Amino acid sequence: MPQTVTAFSSGILFSLAAGMMWGLVFVGPLMLPEYPAALHTFGRYLAFGLIALPLAFVDRAEIRRLTRPDWLAALKLAAIGNVLYYLFLASAIQRAGGALPTMIIGTLPVVITIAANVFNHQRDGRFPWLKLAPPLALILLGIACVHHVEWTALVQNPAADTTRYITGALLAIGAVVCWTWYPLKNADWLRGHPDRNPRVWATAQGLATLPLALLGYAAFWLWASATHDPLPMPLGPRPFEFIGLMMAIGLFASWLGTLCWNAASQRLPTALAGQLIVFETLAALAYAFWLRGHWPEPLTLLGMTLLVMGVITGVRVKSIAKAAHP
- pLDDT of 27 reads 85
Residue 321 lies in a domain: no
Instruction: Report yes or no on 319 lying in a domain.
Output: no
What is the per-residue pLDDT for 324? 41
Nearest CA to 266 among 201, 170, 175? 201
Question: Cα(208)–Cα(206) distance, rounded to whole angstroms?
Answer: 5
Q: For the chain, 326 residues long, give each residue's pLDDT as a single digit of tens.
A: 454 668 788 888 898 899 899 888 888 888 898 999 999 999 989 988 888 899 899 989 999 999 999 999 999 999 999 899 999 999 998 888 777 788 788 777 778 777 877 775 445 566 777 888 888 888 889 888 887 887 788 788 777 777 888 899 899 999 999 988 998 888 888 888 888 888 888 889 889 999 999 999 999 999 999 988 888 988 889 999 999 999 888 888 877 887 888 888 778 877 677 677 778 888 888 888 888 777 888 998 898 888 878 877 776 666 555 544 44
pLDDT of residue 147: 79
Report yes or no on 70 lying in a domain: yes
Q: Which domain, by its residues, includes 62?
A: 2-314
Confirm whether 326 is domain-assigned: no
Strand partners, 126: 320
Q: Give me the number of domains the chain comprises.
A: 1
Provide the pLDDT for residue 326: 40
Q: How far apart are CA 285 and CA 288, in angstroms?
A: 5
CA 165 → CA 170, 189, 217, 235, distances in Å?
A: 9, 36, 26, 28
Q: Is residue 191 part of a domain?
A: yes
DSSP string, 7-32: HHHHHHHHHHHHHHHHGGGGTHHHHS
pLDDT at 77: 94
In a domain, residue 36? The reply is yes
Distance of alpha carbon 62 from alpha carbon 57, whole angstroms: 10
What was the pLDDT predicted at 111?
80
Residue 62 and residue 200 in contact, taking contact as beta carbons nearer than 8 Å: yes
Model pLDDT, residue 281: 82
Return the SS3 of 106: coil
Query: pTM, whole model, 2 decimals?
Result: 0.81
Residue 320 lies in a domain: no
Is 323 among the domain residues? no
